[in-house]
Amino acid sequence: MDTTPAPFRAPAPVPHTRPLSFAGFVLTASRNPIEIWGSRAYSEPYVRANWLNVPTIVVNDPAAIRYCLVENSKNYVMQPLRQRILRPLLRDGLLTAEGELWRRTRKAMAPVFTPKNIFGFAEIMERRSSAFAEQLEELPGGLTDVAFQMTLLTYDILQATLFSDDITGEPQEFAKSMETFLARMGRVDPLDLLDAPAFIPRVWRLLGRRSSGYFRRLIAETMARRKALMENDPEAAPNDFLTLLLRADGLSPSEIEDNIITFIGAGHETTARALGWTLYLLSQAPQERIRVEEELDALLPELPDPTTWLDRLVHTRAALEEALRLYPPAPSLNRTALADDRFGDLEIPAGASVLVMPWLVQRHRLLWRDPECFMPSRFLPENRDRIDRYQYLPFGVGPRVCIGASFALQEGVIALACLMRNLRFDYVGSRPPFPVQKITVQPRGGLPMRVTRRR
């Protein structure tokens, strides 16, 4: 008799079986966009619809994703709805820049994200993560919101790697402002869904202006201080991301500021969410948690160099990557077709919205066995070849693939290893956390967990 426990089914919205009404769609999309998808979106290669007379095609087939986002990517530009939501936050950052501005920015930033620079931050990531784990041991009663704690940890790593601690602002204030920034500025406004004119105010963005101003003042002050240091004493300037960006050719001060905001939103926030979801999922899958703990106990004493952890800690990395599959930090990649196109039997008219949704693709019933279940073994080295490159998209794909993917994956594995080396995290919420899309996929109400020392 097989006594192996059944895999843990990760909490998620239940796909509806009947189409939403127009009003229901607008209300649901503005509240939580990942709830709008019906069962067809999780079981068919393509789903066609019309929204305000615009053809909309959800593409789940990996070969078609490769065609649209890689092979013929020039025909697919950023979807206007996506830009209406993100540009007020990120302005001319790499995620929202297009055309010549995007090409110039990507070229200027490529030297910043070389393997040499990324590996150079591994030791800082390990030191900050280990120190943060020690602080968690001192929590009264061991109870805390791990979702919020992970924003504090990744902020600490961010300020060390991006600014060498040379940034004003208090961590708790920063984390709370980031939560407000994304919850308000990043919320889908019904007026955006209805393609209302830009001059009509969006209430949520008005409410988010204060947090947006806080971040931009913080960054502008830090940039001015660093530029003065680089001019007066170039040798004293730390070799962090800020210095590398200020030395990059082709970026104006405002563009550097926009890209730092992008790093905060697309780097700090996404990694925090990935860590929180991983710790939650492992708390619900004791056998998987034991595998990670045994790996850390056996290997970490032999691996003093944290640059090797990403490749050597295979169970730790697999748990993180499976969490990224179930709860992709960036759940949608939205494009608009410039000209008529065709892939096999898929016809794409000019002007159509082409939606590639990691949230759907990574939970699709045609692509994954038990797609709702937390099964890190999918990502162990012996199984990775079974995963099509275009069915797993946590960092996007094609020319616009996340430039900081290697940095984020390294940070995630190092932080997770440091947290679990001596600590255990147990979920104590009265009900499972419910995922909500606010640019990133966040747990509604946080992740209440008990932190205890395991050895």
At residue 326, the pLDDT reads 98
Residue 114 inside a domain? The answer is: yes
In total, how many domains does the chain have? 1
Contact 197, 171 (CB under 8 A): no
At residue 255, the pLDDT reads 93
For 211-248, the pLDDT digits (tens) are 778 878 888 888 999 999 999 998 899 988 899 889 98
At residue 249, the pLDDT reads 84
Does the pLDDT value for residue 158 go beyond 60? Answer: yes
Mean pLDDT across the stretch 159-165?
86
Ranges of beta strands (E only) in 228-340 are: 333-337
Domain extent, residue 422, equals: 19-453
Residue 310 inside a domain? The answer is: yes
Does the pLDDT value for residue 362 go beyond 60? Answer: yes
Residue 37 inside a domain? The answer is: yes
Q: What is the dihedral of CA 184, 185, 188, 192, to 10 degrees?
A: 130
Residue 226 inside a domain? The answer is: yes
For 372-430, the pLDDT digits (tens) are 999 999 999 999 999 999 999 999 999 999 999 999 999 999 999 999 999 999 999 99
Mutual angle of helices 209-232 and 171-180, in 10-degree steps: 130
In eight-state DSSP terms, residue 34 is G
Contact 411, 157 (CB under 8 A): yes
- Which comes out higher in pLDDT, residue 42 or 204? 42
- Which comes out higher in pLDDT, residue 448 or 192? 448
At residue 262, the pLDDT reads 86
Residue 11 inside a domain? The answer is: no
At residue 341, the pLDDT reads 98
Nearest to 413 by CA among 328, 334, 324, 329: 324
Query: pLDDT over 90 for what percent of the chain?
Result: 69
Least-confidence region, from 93-107, 263-277, 334-348, 437-451 = 263-277
At residue 175, the pLDDT reads 67
Q: Residues with Cβ < 8 Å from 35, sequence gap 6 or more?
A: 13, 28
Other Cβ atoms closer than 10 A to 428? 13
At residue 169, the pLDDT reads 63
Contact 226, 166 (CB under 8 A): yes
For 179-217, the pLDDT digits (tens) are 677 666 667 788 888 888 877 888 767 776 777 788 788
Residue 86 corresponds to which tokens in the numbers above? 């993100």
Does the pLDDT value for residue 171 go beyond 90? Answer: no
For 101-135, the pLDDT digits (tens) are 999 999 988 988 999 999 999 999 999 999 999 99
For 53-87, the pLDDT digits (tens) are 999 999 999 999 999 999 999 999 999 888 888 88
For 392-406, the pLDDT digits (tens) are 999 999 999 999 999
At residue 183, the pLDDT reads 64
For 297-343, the pLDDT digits (tens) are 999 999 999 999 999 999 999 999 999 999 998 899 999 999 999 99
Mean pLDDT across the stretch 153-175?
80
At residue 216, the pLDDT reads 85
Mutual angle of helices 314-326 and 269-283, in 10-degree steps: 110
At residue 168, the pLDDT reads 62
Residue 1 inside a domain? The answer is: no
At residue 177, the pLDDT reads 73
Q: Which CATH number do you get for residue 449?
A: 1.10.630.10
d(CA 7, CA 374): 6
User: Within 13 Å of residue 419, how many CA atoms lie on the same side as its CB?
Assistant: 27
d(CA 441, CA 90): 18
Q: Model's pTM, two decimal places?
A: 0.93
Contact 320, 394 (CB under 8 A): no
Residue 36 inside a domain? The answer is: yes
Helix (H/G/I), strand (E/B), else coil: 246: helix
For 242-265, the pLDDT digits (tens) are 998 899 888 899 999 999 888 877
At residue 189, the pLDDT reads 81
Mean pLDDT across the stretch 87-96?
87
In eight-state DSSP terms, residue 16 is B
In eight-state DSSP terms, residue 265 is I
Residue 200 inside a domain? The answer is: yes
